[in-house]
Chain A
């Protein structure tokens, strides 16, 4: 399942790369891209456990970049 989210307060390109690395490691995530320019997060993830995966993604993002918020569309 592919999903795209808007990101708020993603301030630096380096953080975007770090976020991408971190999200990649979350279980259930097949592919991810964090687009710094468009402030967008695109995830390809397993359909089941959707809620837990998203929660985990939000958690690791907070760790990498506390200011950055993932907005639900």
Chain B
């Protein structure tokens, strides 16, 4: 509880005590009246003062005004106890609401709290804590186990594992050692690290991400804009209706007294406070965005959440989303697989070509480079070398043909590297961009859980390879052999086919697909941790490269929108219902306050589900 809330609570308690005294003790009417006034002033003077202040500064219609009018009206009509009780209930409601919102806000911001509080630097042989905002690029910082990495940097000394879950939602720890990059916001788990700062605080990953999430609530969704428009017209309309209610019936119906009608009008006014809506809708979005960020999904605005929820077509750029975006050995076809890999690795031991790297990675044992002699690279074909005194050829079919070696036939898809020793081919290695393990499942989840109607893959790759991948992961449509600019064109065609309500999302790895990312209704960048360009270009950023998070992001948005809508319908529905009751004289002032506070609290609690849901899924 804040100081202000505690103060309010004390006032409420004092008022309750006074009310007890008044009702229990046989006091004189005059004394009772004075005590009522005192109780009223204790609990309600702030409301009355605020109402007067607001009127003086030209803002007439707000809830303080409504409450003051209603309670003072009750005093005038002689219902002292009702006046005090209404004000008391109102203040209890306000207190509870303030507490609930504060609590919710705290739990959301805590969830997103990746901001480092301090950095350790060494001064005169002593380690001291300093403000990370003051450190310059090039400063050496010390990160102890259990501490947050305060600034982006490069490890100079030490070895450790980092918990990146605050940034990526991924709980698998990442190993770092000398010359590796460390990102702010990660938690150092095991070892002491000395690192050189590479980015100042404002430019560091943690600051950037926080900035993004914080600014997200400034980009308002339609539902939020609706609320602010609603509030603008709503209050004047309600006041006019209340005036009609007070003065029209007595003119036309002689049996009703003016007094009775004024009372009804006041009840009507009390019921009309729109707080439930005004608070719960932004809170819902905020919770949704906060919950998503905890899972490593950054949504840059509530409006994008709305678009995500209506996504019916997901377009993938193949590389880096469906596939790993990295060459890997997918198959070794030979009688002696180990020997084949060893020969190939040795022959390729000095090459930096991605294919050579893939082969060496697969072999993964230490290479005795002394065994290799006379390495000769033949452009467009491969490598020729002497290993243990024997001639070895590693390359494509052309290389083997040029040496008059018989090439075994194959219909494998991908890049095929043959290995031959002297005059015989020992077998071949298939290298391809590997499909992510969970790609197929993630794409089926998109349809089943997130109600996406269509999935499309765009790629610059050859048709056979693209078709094969699409078949494996069960994607609906493929457009292959596209140049980068063709991708935008292709997306335009897809966009034209959609209705306005059905949105198209484009998923890319953020590397040279920025134009497509911005052109789509919603651009999602994957594997963006550490890549500023990707974070900049996309509307939704998935920090790691887990393809299943696309479905998570869409489902989460749908859930959030659903909760927000529930709140809007529920709050307006209840309000209208009670307004009718009030107008007909069926609800009294106390019930009115109860309805107002009750709806607010239920709506706030409901909003908090946006956060809870995402927690459960973790």
Query: Which of B29-37, B135-143, B276-284 lines the interface with chain A?
Result: B276-284
Q: Which of A11, A12, A17 makes the CB contact (< 8 A) with B228?
A: A17
Expressed in whole angstroms, the Cα–Cα distance for A11 and B282 within the complex equals 14
Tell whether B218 is near chain A: CB-to-CB under 8 Å.
yes
Within 282-326 of B, Cβ neighbours of A (below 8 Å) are at: 282-283, 286
Cα separation A32 to B53 with both chains bound (whole Å): 24
Contacts of A12 in B (CB 8 A): 275, 278-279
- For the complex of A and B, the 4 pairs showing the least CB-CB separation, nearest first, are A63-B57, A37-B286, A13-B278, A14-B278
Chain A residues with a Cβ under 8 A of chain B: 9, 11-14, 17-18, 33, 35-40, 63-64, 66-67
Chain B residue nearest in CB terms to A40: B214
Evaluate contact between A37 and B4: CB separation under 8 angstroms: no
Q: List 12 A-B contacts (CB under 8 A).
A: A13-B278, A13-B282, A14-B231, A18-B59, A36-B282, A37-B286, A38-B109, A39-B105, A40-B214, A64-B59, A66-B50, A66-B53
Complex Cα distance A71/B4, Å?
16
Choice from A11, A33, A63, A67 contacting B218 with Cβ under 8 Å: A33
B4 contacts A67, CB within 8 Å?
yes
CB distance from A51 to the nearest CB of B (A): 23
Chain B residues lying within 8 Å of A38, measured Cβ to Cβ, are: 105, 109, 214, 217
Chain B residues whose C-beta falls within 8 Å of the C-beta of A17 in the assembled complex: 228, 231
Q: Are A9 and B4 in contact (CB under 8 A)?
A: yes
Q: Quick one: which of B4, B94, B218, B279 contacts A13, CB cutoff 8 A?
A: B279
- Chain A residues with Cβ under 8 A from B274's Cβ? 14
B444 interface residue per 8 A CB criterion: no
* Cα distance, A39 to B59, chains bound together (Å): 22
Report the nearest A residue to B214, measured CB to CB. A38
A37–B278 contact, CB under 8 A? no
- Chain B residues in 8 Å Cβ range of A66: 50, 53
Tell me, in angstroms, the Cα distance from A38 to B108 when the chains sit together: 10
Closest to B104 in A: A37
Contact A37 B57 (CB under 8 A): no
Q: Which residue from chain A places its CB closest to the CB of B281 in the assembled complex? A: A13
Chain B residues with Cβ below 8 Å from A67 are 4
A38 to B215 Cα, complex, angstroms: 10
Please tell me if B165 contacts chain A, counting CB pairs below 8 Å. no
Q: Which of B53, B59, B98, B286 contacts A11 (CB 8 A)?
A: B98
CB interface residues, B 191-241, toward A, < 8 Å: 214, 217-218, 228, 231
